[in-house]
Amino acid sequence: MASSCFGEGYMGLGRTLGMGALALVAVGAGVVVVRTATFKPPAQTDLKSVKLAPAVQVDANLAAQHLGQAIRFQTVTHQNPADDQLGEWDKLQAWMITTYPAAHRAMSREVVDGHTLIYTWAGSDPSLKPVILMAHQDVVPITPGTEKDWKHAPFGGEIADGYVWGRGAFDDKGALISIFEGVEALAQSGFKPKRTIIVVSGHNEETRGGGAKVAAEVLKQRGVQAYFLLDEGFSGTTQDAFTGKPLARVLIAEKGYGTIRITANAAGGHSSAPPKETAVATLAKAVLAIADKPYPMKLQGPVRTSYQALGPQMGWTDRMMLANLWLFGPWLKQRIAATPVGAAGLHTTIAPTMLEGSPKENVLPQKAVARINFRLAPGDTTAEVMEKSKAAVGRLPVTLSWEKPPFEPTAASSTSSDGWRFISAAAGDATGAPVAPGLMRAGTDSWFFRPLARDTYLFTPMLLSPDEEKMVHGTNEKVPVDGLGKMIQFYARLIATAAG
């Protein structure tokens, strides 16, 4: 009898626990549903409340011709600066003076570090902080052997099928020409800024050269503190990976940047009698040791803010995960990381890019060198990256050093400042897409200006399709003529709104 009661007690306890578990599940499900239904993104400015300056008269076809002419100047920066043809920069800058006479009458012009440009359009009220706009003059080389893959000559600047074709059409001569077209139109209309406008155009951005750094130092010595700064961003898309809809991302922070050089030394000699361990074999082990230890995915900082801002546009499942990160955080990170672009925003990336060894196939090199490029997520530091890399290679006979002084990740800029409001309103107007903040995966010249510009934003006013995004630094780079007209309007209205 006692045994029977004992068994019934266990069964009763089991039923009680089971009912309790079901109750907890029901409560948890209720919490998830309520949080999803009531989810609101971080407070954002009502962009409709921002009164933009009126549109200016723009001739997109003439601007397209000007961009085509600018593309023909082969201002290519190479890995070895000695290979740069600096005469091309001289030609481009002389052409700019001739092509934009009203802009050059309105603005003073300075050249620093050989070919970096600083233009100043003095405002009538010197007590107002200036706006800094940036766009660089240089472009990346054409990948050897791909010339035949271009539909139009890479430096031909041809206008065909409604596009301007050529290296730099998007990155970044499209923005440079659009800024000057906008200033030219405003100057011709008689516009007089109250707030000073400063335009900085670096000449070696693609190699993280020193032109922008020198320009920043010049302005710093003058005591310049910017109202806000805007540089390139490559951040608009016709099909966001999450919403499937157009989106304009105004980027509020930039990942850090650094390249670690790994060197393995050995005796060298003839390849017919290789030692047990060669410099190349040692180097390969070191590269794999570092690359095989990826940094953890984290949904935090600007990336988290970015996805939260998209909440109202997401489907129920994605919005549910976003509203309940306490439960679905791991699944949401997995969803974001499904693409290389999405994954890059969640962590510090490791990319082996360059290898050097013997100059001949049957010679054992005395030295083998590899370079690994890191793009640091906010929260990580270059010191930590170096420490982790050294720990990964352990006792392998290699040396690690920074190829050049690395760049730390930047702090996030405000999403409630006037700069954010003006840029986002102009971005939404130019693209017709909703606007959200984001994180810049690549590097820009604006990094050097962070001490001068607490609020720094990165945005190129054009939406690219997923296929078109591949053209940046790739083949068949181009911009649509009508899109160029919208870019000009974006910059002109931004200037007139912020400085009028």
Phi, psi of 44 (to 5 degrees): -125, 155
pLDDT at residue 33 above 80?
no
pLDDT interval class at 38 (50, 70, 90): confident
For 121, the enclosing helix (H) or strand (E) is: strand 116-121
For 464, the enclosing helix (H) or strand (E) is: strand 463-464
The pLDDT, as a whole number, for residue 335 is 87
The pLDDT, as a whole number, for residue 25 is 63
Q: How far is CA 389 from the centre of its chain?
A: 25
pLDDT > 70 fraction of the chain, expressed in percent and rounded: 93
Candidates 14, 4, 33, 93; CA nearest to 328 is 33
Residue where the block lists tokens 């609101």: 40
Cis peptide before 171 (omega within 30 of 0): no
Q: Write out pLDDT tens, residues 403-436.
A: 999 999 999 999 999 999 999 999 999 999 999 9
**Neighbour-count burial of 172, counting CB atoms closer than 10 A to its CB (0-12 exposed, 13-18 middle, 19+ buried):** buried
The pLDDT, as a whole number, for residue 367 is 97
**Which two structure tokens, joined as six digits, stand for 420?**
């954010």
Spatial distance between the Cα atoms of 253 and 90, rounded to a whole number of angstroms: 33
Q: Write out pLDDT tens, residues 462-472.
A: 999 988 888 99
pLDDT interval class at 316 (50, 70, 90): confident
Q: Read off the pLDDT of each residue in 291-312 and give the average, rounded to a whole number.
A: 91
Spatial distance between the Cα atoms of 137 and 122, rounded to a whole number of angstroms: 23
Q: Write out pLDDT tens, residues 239-279.
A: 988 888 999 999 999 999 999 999 999 999 999 999 999 99
Mean pLDDT of the chain: 92
Candidates 142, 198, 210, 140; CA nearest to 171 is 140
Phi, psi of 167 (to 5 degrees): -65, 125
Q: Which residues are 438's β-sheet partners?
A: 251
Strand pairing category for 456-458 and 478-480: unpaired
Spatial distance between the Cα atoms of 468 and 476, rounded to a whole number of angstroms: 9
pLDDT at residue 107 above 80?
yes
Q: Read off the pLDDT of each residue in 219-233 and give the average, rounded to a whole number.
A: 98
How many Cα atoms are found within 13 Å in the side-chain-facing hemisphere of 138? Answer: 27
Q: Read off the pLDDT of each residue in 137-151 and give the average, rounded to a whole number.
A: 95
Candidates 170, 152, 143, 136; CA nearest to 67 is 170
Grouping H, G, I as helix, E, B as strand and the rest as coil, residue 209 is: coil
Strand pairing category for 256-265 and 398-402: antiparallel
Weakest-pLDDT range from 78-82, 139-143, 185-189, 477-481: 78-82
Spatial distance between the Cα atoms of 418 and 425, rounded to a whole number of angstroms: 10
**Which two structure tokens, joined as six digits, stand for 44?**
């954002």
The pLDDT, as a whole number, for residue 14 is 56
**Neighbour-count burial of 452, counting CB atoms closer than 10 A to its CB (0-12 exposed, 13-18 middle, 19+ buried):** buried
pLDDT > 90 fraction of the chain, expressed in percent and rounded: 79
The number of residues making up the chain comes to 500
Q: Write out pLDDT tens, residues 84-102.
A: 999 999 999 999 999 999 9
pLDDT at residue 20 above 60?
no
Spatial distance between the Cα atoms of 269 and 272, rounded to a whole number of angstroms: 9
Q: Which residues contact 350 (CB under 8 A, 6 or more apart)?
A: 290, 291, 294, 295, 372, 374
DSSP annotation string for 378-434: TT--HHHHHHHHHHHHTTSSEEEEESS--BPPPPPPPSSSHHHHHHHHHHHHHH-S-
DSSP at 80: S
